[in-house]
Amino acid sequence: MTGVSSVWLDPLRTALDEGSPVPVAWFFRDDDAGWADDRLWPLIEVCAAAGATLDVAAIPEEVTPTTGAALGRLAGEATIAIHQHGRSHVNHEATGRACEFGSARSADDQAADLTVGRDILEAAIGGPTTGVFVPPWNRCSEVTVGLLAELGFAALSRDESAFVTSFPEVRVCADWTRLTREGGLPALAGTLAGAVRRRAGGRAEDDRLTPAVGLMLHHADLGAADLSGLAQLLDLVANHPGAECVPLASLASTAGATQGAADDDSRT
């Protein structure tokens, strides 16, 4: 791996040092399993080396038998956790932002894709998923949320800027790809430091925010320098008394109502 100085983590390290005596939970969600999977396995190795369970959002119709078998084995070993990432990651909106489960689709069509997608993914991995639904592009409609409850899903995971819902939700607050492209690793560290400070002392006062710090990854975008930087971040989070790595699904049972604006700039 390309070497990366750890100086970029200093703002985050300071925020953790100044934080709550109760460790803030962190989770790491990687989207789009089924695409560019040659880059997924190195990411899983980096997380496993740090003892962090990687939350893998898998596209049911894109997961090959080979990938499905490997993901199922790794999930059985608790190296990863597998979440349903839509059905086919296809945009159904004629105008506006891309969305697979948006307002242009009927409840019946959405329900069919939710259930068929779940069946396809569970068949591919040889067992159940976590029950957490991760909508492509981090977007879905209010109809989708109601269907998730009816169909027995455990929780939803989107970006913290998404609209309010009373359904259990565990949100990401930072996008590795977007932040590093806009401002490099220092921009990422600054965002994460701010996230830690907002969560210090327990549940965030702003109801938009999941108490945990959730980092969204896209393995297809991660080169050697990214993986090196991520390894440094994981080492800090795994070993600092002010932080702990937890699987996303473990937060779902305590996730309450969340709130936010409809504007969502996240890319998945």
- Residue 134 located in a structural domain: no
With CA atoms as reference, report the closest residue to 125 among 220, 217, 56.
56
The DSSP element (H or E) to which 43 belongs, if any, is helix 40-49
One-letter identity of residue 107: A
Task: Say if strands 80-84 and 243-245 run parallel, antiparallel, or are unpaired.
Answer: unpaired
Q: By three-state DSSP, how is residue 144 classified?
A: helix
Distance CA 100, CA 137 (A): 8
The answer on pLDDT for 265 being more than 50 is: no
- Residue 19 located in a structural domain: yes
Distance CA 126, CA 128 (A): 7
Read off the pLDDT of each residue in 50-57 and give the average, rounded to a whole number.
98
Overall residue count recorded for the chain in this entry: 268
Contact predicate 238/245, CB 8 Å: yes
The answer on pLDDT for 137 being more than 50 is: yes
The conformational region for residue 35 under phi > 0 = left, psi -120 to 50 = alpha, else beta, is: beta
- Residue 195 located in a structural domain: yes
Q: Is 118 exposed, middle or buried (0-12, 13-18, 19+ CB in 10 A)?
A: buried
The DSSP element (H or E) to which 231 belongs, if any, is helix 224-239
- Residue 97 located in a structural domain: no
pLDDT, greater one: 22 or 262: 22
The answer on pLDDT for 257 being more than 60 is: no
Token code pair at residue 104:
């242009």
Read off the pLDDT of each residue in 48-57 and give the average, rounded to a whole number.
98
Which pLDDT score, from 0 to 100, does residue 262 have? 36
- Residue 73 located in a structural domain: yes
CATH of the domain at 10: 3.20.20
Distance CA 29, CA 83 (A): 9
Q: Tens digits of per-residue pLDDT, 28-38?
A: 999 999 999 99
Which pLDDT score, from 0 to 100, does residue 90 have? 96
The answer on pLDDT for 164 being more than 80 is: no
Please report the sign of the dihedral spanned by the C-alpha atoms of residue 163, residue 166, residue 171, residue 173.
positive
Q: Tens digits of per-residue pLDDT, 39-49?
A: 999 999 999 99
- At residue 250 the predicted structure's pLDDT band, cuts being 50, 70 and 90, is very high
Which pLDDT score, from 0 to 100, does residue 211 have? 86
Residue span of the structural domain in which 184 resides: 6-80+157-252
Q: Tens digits of per-residue pLDDT, 196-209?
A: 998 885 554 455 67
Question: What is the residue-averaged pLDDT of the chain?
Answer: 91
- Residue 74 located in a structural domain: yes
- Residue 257 located in a structural domain: no
- Residue 213 located in a structural domain: yes
Which pLDDT score, from 0 to 100, does residue 267 have? 47
Contact predicate 93/69, CB 8 Å: no
Query: What's the structural domain count of the chain?
Result: 1
What global pTM score does this model have? 0.91
Strands (E) across the chain are located at 24-33, 54-58, 80-84, 132-133, 155-156, 174-175, 213-218, 243-245
